Structure 1
Amino acid sequence: MESRSPFRVTAAAFVAAGLLITGCSSGGSSSGSSDEGAGSATGSGSVSVDQAALKKFYGQKIKWRACGVSGFQCATMKAPLDYAEPDGKQIDLAVSRKKATGPGKRLGSLLVNPGGPGGSAIGYLQGYAAIGYPAPVRAQYDMAAIDPRGVARSEPVECLSGTEMDAYTQVDQTPDDQAEIARLTGAFKKFAAGCEKRSGEILPHVSTVETARDMDIFRAVLGDEKLSYVGASYGTFLGATYAELFPERTGRLVLDGAMDPSLPARDLNRDQTAGFETAFQSFARDCVKQSDCPFGTKSPAEVATRMNAFFKGLDAEPVPTGETRQLGESLATTGVIAAMYDESAWPQLREALAQAMDGDGTALLGLADSYYERDGDGSYQNLMFANSAVNCLDLPPAFSGPGEVTQDLPSFEKASPVFGRNLAWASLNCAYWPTKATGSPHRIEAKGAAPIVVVGTTRDPATPYKWARSLAEQLSSGTLLTYNGDGHTAYGRGSDCIDTAINTYLLEGTPPTPAKKCS
């Protein structure tokens, strides 16, 4: 029952990252410039910052230690909890790196972020980026990551117990009457109250602007004059925000699976709903070509019709899963959505759907659990808690109450006949958030920044392609790189054309030719 944020990280990325994080290394402080930490953003969420008070953070020397598998180092970095009061309470942020392997000239550090919000950048670094990025990139860059404030090892936001989260994820997200609407809004309110009770101090200070400022401190601590960065999904918003705040310190930025910062939450959620429909239609076209398609091989339209009937049946009568939880419509929808992020999951989805239609919801429940980051012992990683905390702080809520959702249901159902109703109601969660949003939608131009590469996938479910086009157009130095294909994000997913273009940019500083397209 998460907000289905456009910033949700790909399930495939987290399978690669493993989310089991340890790891670390050593670096010095940057001399920095006289206006270190000031930033130049005039956009949403910017605050007046006392430059002199920030010098102690930019000049800190952190103690690296070996951690995780061979070659990784970890440390803890200090930052102000509230940048408006840098002499006040401080926050501890987990950081990690792996030194460049050589040969070739060292190009500095390359920060990575897999998205979310709520995704562990350190988990992604140690589980995938520092071992899976192309060898020439790893040879010349120190691969580095910082877990954003409120995430994983950086004073994580906590909201519900495992048992409470189990109940939360099973609440009906397609309410049919006032009683079901009351249960859904009650669940949203309980989730928000749990976050305030367990993490009230940090909740007002997990915005993307604050995390971007943390990244600039980390850049200085690493000794880099400029920030080089690869951000995926929500990580593109984080990277664009950094470029807006610190255009003169922006190095080589790759924003893969881009989001559009100019859109309000309702438009973002409706656009993403359409994105999942595009991905589902691609799945349906593939499904009818497969002998094991559980919905037959007649037509993609038949697949959609029978999927809706399947969801409706689960709404009336959930199926067993071999444990106390049953597979109802909400968990089933989450499981299907999880498989939309990567076409390699489609065979698994076909099998899970066939089993569920035969009365065994175990496999489809497993897909939902992977999306929610539910562990085998019934506990949950903090991804979904941080996801809501950041989203609800970055933008005013999509809806103020159930009445607005009801009025706008037709537009969501038009965007996706399969997922529209579910995703419209899921967009209500921030209406009950205890902390008022500090951000607002606005264009990001980042005037003065070096060339920035924006990557868009034509059938991306979570960050629709039109968002990449929009962000590339907004950025004064943006260049759009297009992948004509399925799945969420493009770099490192099998396209030699995409990988070569990005590698050339990271290693040589030469962006792709304008409007370059790959398949």
Structure 2
Amino acid sequence: MKKLIVAVVVIWALVVAVGVTVGVVLVTGDDDGDDSTGGDRTTPASSAEPSVTDSGSGPTAPVPAGLESFYSQQIAWEGCGDNECGTLEVPLDYAEPDGETIEINLEVAPATGDRIGAMVVNPGGPGAPGTSVPENADFYFASELRERFDIVGFDPRGTGDSSPVDCLSDPELDDYVAGDPDPDNRAEVAEFVDLGEEFWEGCEEKSGDLGNHVSTIEVARDMDVLRAALGEQKLPYFGFSYGTRLGATYASLFPDNVGPFVLDGAVDPSLSSLEGSLSQAKGFETALRAYLEDCVDGGDCFLGDSVDEGLRTISDLLDEIDADPLPTGEERDLTVGNAFFGLVTPLYSKDNWSYLDIGLQEALEGDGSTLLFLSDAYGSRENGTYTDNSLEAISVVNCLDDPWSIPAKKVPSYFDEFEKASPTFGTVFAWGLTACQGTPFGTTEPEIEVDGAGAGPIVVIGTTRDPATPYEEAVAMAEQLESGVLLTRDGDGHTGYNKGNACIDDTVHAYFVDGTVPDDGTEC
């Protein structure tokens, strides 16, 4: 999912399903006769026991000079539960391939039937560990894909167990998330600025030079090394949310190596940080209004008799929590920062709206426990600890890719613009424009044009009421990619595949399994 960059914290582009990440989308179209799968990839594998070590053969793509030893490496797979795990060695800095190296953590869920090949996946973020996908492969993918593909997840460099960046201790991260994302007086602004400064100071101290080498471009380079190690001439790839930016970047760097690509919940790679924040603010406003409309249409809505009344109820509740945090039955109270994340997390999926009902009903009665649970789910916090570094990695990666920011004193000048995009969340997103203030890191990678020129057909999925990656961004990505094919899901929530829309699912399956490219502009 794409997390959102708000206040000091960031909200990501990844599919949040209260404890598990999910996502994807597509639609059916006529076969135009163009086999997008590359070579004989669609020829079923032998009837031997499916294993990732059987990954497709065929002529290898040209190897970048100086990287021969990385591209020729063999992955030592070992059993880990029902799956197989391993590591991939890559340079810390691709400009210095003879220098320091790091290991990329891998996990694969082997194909359960007649295997076609290995599909690399990314759940979004940036910051989400990609090994979470094969760990939950049956949740992410229907049997049509599980049977035919090894599902290969990797923790992108700087995340999960792949040399993770580190910035804050768990108690410090608790304070960071709990901080007021919309300070409204001098003291609160000072505290807001202090939290941001402490975050970047911690990143520099704990992460060092690694923080300069976790950019999206470097992760895309790692993906091509992984492609070669898997034995795939053309890389099959499924990227969700931020994973669509990663996929589009890969296609622009290595167009000849692109196999069937699906980019679900797509972001617009051309947007500036300011434009992206405005887009996401508008997306979450749309999603909240859709949630309230559903509540009102159901009759006897506990939030009010109209959408506008419901918005006022929620806004008043947040103001009350800001002034007086709610008890939760544990040591931590529900602050307005936690309440914000608890409110937006269920908006990623319509299936989770019932959690939001419970959280808001309890909060209106003075109990913040469910909203705190939802905030913790967003931050991967369980049993008092954070199970991954996603809340830290997202800021480091985003600010490495685009370090633009504004100082706190300039934020109020953007209020009108943001409140127009989102009357409910606008000022929170405006404060998010300060997120990269003080970053000590800078990328060594040259900027590239993200257009996928020369790649085969790339299917881009957009959902009409997607909060984290608004539909307009998918339209823009499909237009910017030279071979982009837009597939539209009319619905709510983040991403479109495996969300109950048979049209999307059937189209994706036909594309990956049979090489049938949908018509551009297909609507489901």
Deviations 1:36-79 (A, max 9, x none): 13xxxxxxxxxxxxx1x2000000112110112x2x11111100
User: For 1:299-310, what aligned pairs fall within 5 Å after superposition?
Assistant: 299-310=306-317
Which ranges in structure 1 are unaligned for 5 or more consecutive residues? 18-23, 38-50
**Residue aligning to 2:77:** 64
Deviations 1:312-338 (A, max 9, x none): 111111111112221122111110010
**Structural RMSD (CA):** 2.1
- From 492, 496, 501, the equivalent of 1:495 is 501
**Residue aligning to 2:17:** 12
SS of 1:82 mapped into structure 2: coil
- From 109, 126, 131, the equivalent of 1:98 is 109
TM (normalized to structure 2)?
0.90
Paired with 1:375 and 1:79, the residues of 2 have a C-alpha distance of 31
Per-residue deviation at 1:413?
1.3
1:240 to 2:243 alignment = no
Paired with 2:11 and 2:459, the residues of 1 have a C-alpha distance of 20
Deviations 1:378-397 (A, max 9, x none): 34521111111111111122
Paired with 1:157 and 1:130, the residues of 2 have a C-alpha distance of 29
**Residue aligning to 1:373:** 380
Q: Is the 8 A contact 2:130 2:154 kept in 1?
A: yes
User: For 1:307-326, what aligned pairs fall within 5 Å after superposition?
Assistant: 307-326=314-333
**Residue aligning to 1:78:** 89
CA gap 1:408/1:400 in 2 versus in 1, 3 angstroms: same
- From 311, 325, 334, the equivalent of 1:327 is 334
Q: Is the 8 A contact 2:56 2:233 kept in 1?
A: no
Paired with 2:157 and 2:499, the residues of 1 have a C-alpha distance of 28
SS of 1:251 mapped into structure 2: strand
Deviations 1:283-315 (A, max 9, x none): 11011234573312x100111111111111111
CA gap 1:441/1:360 in 2 versus in 1, 3 angstroms: farther
Tell me how many residue pairs correspond in the alignment.
491
The 10-residue stretch of structure 1 (287-296 or 474-483) with the greater mean CA deviation from structure 2: 287-296
- Counterpart residue identity of residue 59, structure 1: S
Amino-acid identity (%): 42
Q: Is the 8 A contact 1:161 1:379 kept in 2?
A: no
- From 2, 5, 18, the equivalent of 1:3 is 5
SS of 2:146 mapped into structure 1: helix
1:511 to 2:513 alignment = no
Higher relative contact order structure (alpha carbons within 8 Å, sequence separation ≥ 6): 2
- From 327, 336, 354, the equivalent of 2:343 is 336
- From 280, 304, 329, the equivalent of 1:272 is 280
Deviations 1:111-139 (A, max 9, x none): 11110111111111211x35652222222
**Residue aligning to 2:409:** 403
CA gap 1:438/1:329 in 2 versus in 1, 3 angstroms: farther
Q: Is the 8 A contact 2:268 2:474 kept in 1?
A: yes
CA gap 1:460/1:512 in 2 versus in 1, 3 angstroms: same
- Counterpart residue identity of residue 349, structure 2: D
Paired with 1:113 and 1:510, the residues of 2 have a C-alpha distance of 23
Paired with 1:483 and 1:179, the residues of 2 have a C-alpha distance of 45
**Residue aligning to 2:47:** none
1:229 to 2:237 alignment = yes
Per-residue deviation at 1:421?
1.1
Which ranges in structure 2 are unaligned for 5 or more consecutive residues? 23-50
- Counterpart residue identity of residue 3, structure 1: I
Paired with 1:241 and 1:16, the residues of 2 have a C-alpha distance of 22
Paired with 1:344 and 1:35, the residues of 2 have a C-alpha distance of 45
1:114 to 2:127 alignment = no
User: For 1:201-220, what aligned pairs fall within 5 Å after superposition?
Assistant: 201-220=209-228
CA gap 1:498/1:384 in 2 versus in 1, 3 angstroms: same
Q: Is the 8 A contact 1:455 1:481 kept in 2?
A: yes
1:126 to 2:128 alignment = no
Paired with 1:447 and 1:422, the residues of 2 have a C-alpha distance of 37
**Residue aligning to 1:423:** 429
**Residue aligning to 1:40:** none
CA gap 1:6/1:480 in 2 versus in 1, 3 angstroms: farther
Q: Which portions of structure 1, spanning 4 or more consecutive aligned residues, are displaced by more than 4 angstroms? A: 4-7, 27-34, 437-443
